[in-house]
C-alpha cells in the first residue's frame, strides 16, 4: 500500500501528525504537496475542489489509501492506527487513543488561534493587540492545563508513564511529541517555566525523538522546519 498525503507544502502543519505515524511505521507514502512529481500543491487543490467527490474533504490533511479518502487528523490516525500497528487492538484502548488525539487537535487549534484570535482570514499584523491578550491566557492557563492533562494521563497509566496508552507506542504519543515540539518552538519561555510540572510529558517527547525511525526522519529533508506560516509560530512578543 502506497499512502498519499495531501497537505500544503512548506510547513509541518497538521500534516506532521500524519507524517510521524507513517514514518514511525516505515510506511510507503508520498507527501504530494511537497513532491512536484506527484503534482505538488496543484494536486492538493485539485483534490479539495474535486466536483465529482461524493465525500468531499473540508481541509487538508487528507490521506488517500487506494479507494479510501479520509480527512481530519484524528480520523486519519484512527484509520491508520491499526494498519500501521500504532494503536492497541482492544476497542477501549483504541477509543481512549482517539480521545487523546482529539484533545491534541483542540490544543493545536488553540495554538493557531493565539496568533489569529480575530479571524484566520486576516493577517497576524492586523490582530497583534488581540493576539497579545490571547497569548497571555494561552501561556498562563491553557498550556499548563493541556500539558498538565497529558502529564496526569501518563502518571495514571496502569502500564507506566512511558506511553499515553498501555505499554506500547501509539499515534497519540507521536502527536504529543510534535505538539510539545511546536509549543517549545513558539513559546520557549512559557514551556520552560512549567517544565518541572510535566516530567513525564517531556520524557515521552524525548523518547519519541530518540527512536531510531523518528531520529532518522528528523534528520531527513522530509522533516520541514517550523516557520511563521505554520500553526506554531515564534513571535517573541507572544511568549513570556
- Positions in the binding site for ligand GSH (CB under 6 A): 13-14, 59-61, 72-73, 105
Nearest approach, Cβ of 71 to ligand GSH (angstroms)? Answer: 6
Nearest approach, Cβ of 58 to ligand GSH (angstroms)? Answer: 7
Q: Please, which residue, 15 or 144, has the CB nearer to ligand GSH?
A: 15
Residues in Cβ contact with 36 at an 8 Å cutoff, skipping those fewer than 6 apart: none
Nearest approach, Cβ of 73 to ligand GSH (angstroms)? Answer: 4
For the stretch 129-138, what's the b/e string if a residue is b when 16 or more beta carbons lie within 10 angstroms of its beta carbon?
A: ebbeebbeeb
Do 15 and 5 contact (CB within 8 A), yes or no? yes
Q: Please, which residue, 59 or 216, has the CB nearer to ligand GSH?
A: 59
Q: Please, which residue, 57 or 202, has the CB nearer to ligand GSH?
A: 57
Nearest approach, Cβ of 121 to ligand GSH (angstroms)? Answer: 9
Q: Please, which residue, 9 or 161, has the CB nearer to ligand GSH?
A: 9
Handedness of CA 152, 156, 161, 164 (dihedral sign): negative
Nearest approach, Cβ of 72 to ligand GSH (angstroms)? Answer: 4
C-beta atoms surrounding 88 within 10 Å = 19
Q: Please, which residue, 58 or 237, has the CB nearer to ligand GSH?
A: 58
User: Radius of gyration of the chain from Cα atoms?
Assistant: 18
Instruction: Report the C-alpha gap between 240 and 178 in whole angstroms.
Output: 21
Amino acid at each position: 500500500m502506497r499512502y498519499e498525503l495531501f497537505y500544503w507544502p512548506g510547513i509541518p502543519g497538521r500534516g506532521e501528525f500524519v507524517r510521524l505515524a507513517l514514518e514511525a511505521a516505515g510506511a510507503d507514502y508520498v507527501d504530494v504537496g511537497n513532491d512536484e512529481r506527484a503534482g505538488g500543491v496543484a494536486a492538493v487543490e485539485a483534490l479539495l475542489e474535486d466536483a465529482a467527490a461524493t465525500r468531499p474533504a473540508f481541509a487538508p490533511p487528507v490521506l488517500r489509501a487506494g479507494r479510501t479518502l479520509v480527512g481530519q487528523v484524528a480520523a486519519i490516525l484512527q484509520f491508520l492506527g491499526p494498519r500501521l500497528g500504532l494503536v492497541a487492538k482492544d476497542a477501549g484502548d483504541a477509543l481512549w487513543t482517539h480521545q487523546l488525539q482529539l484533545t491534541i487537535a483542540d490544543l493545536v487549534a488553540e495554538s493557531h488561534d493565539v496568533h489569529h484570535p480575530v479571524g484566520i482570514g486576516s493577517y497576524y499584523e492586523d490582530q497583534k493587540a488581540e493576539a497579545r491578550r490571547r497569548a497571555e491566557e494561552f501561556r498562563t492557563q491553557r498550556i499548563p492545563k493541556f500539558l498538565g492533562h497529558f502529564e496526569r494521563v501518563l502518571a495514571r497509566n496502569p502500564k507506566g508513564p512511558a506511553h499515553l496508552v498501555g505499554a506500547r507506542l501509539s499515534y497519540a504519543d507521536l502527536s504529543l511529541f510534535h505538539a510539545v515540539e511546536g509549543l517549545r518552538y513558539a513559546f520557549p519561555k512559557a514551556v520552560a517555566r512549567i517544565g518541572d510540572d510535566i516530567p513525564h510529558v517531556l520524557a515521552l517527547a524525548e523518547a519519541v525523538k530518540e527512536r531510531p525511525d523518528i531520529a532518522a526522519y528528523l534528520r531527513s529533508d522530509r522533516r520541514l522546519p517550523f516557520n511563521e506560516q505554520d500553526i506554531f509560530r515564534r513571535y517573541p512578543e507572544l511568549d513570556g
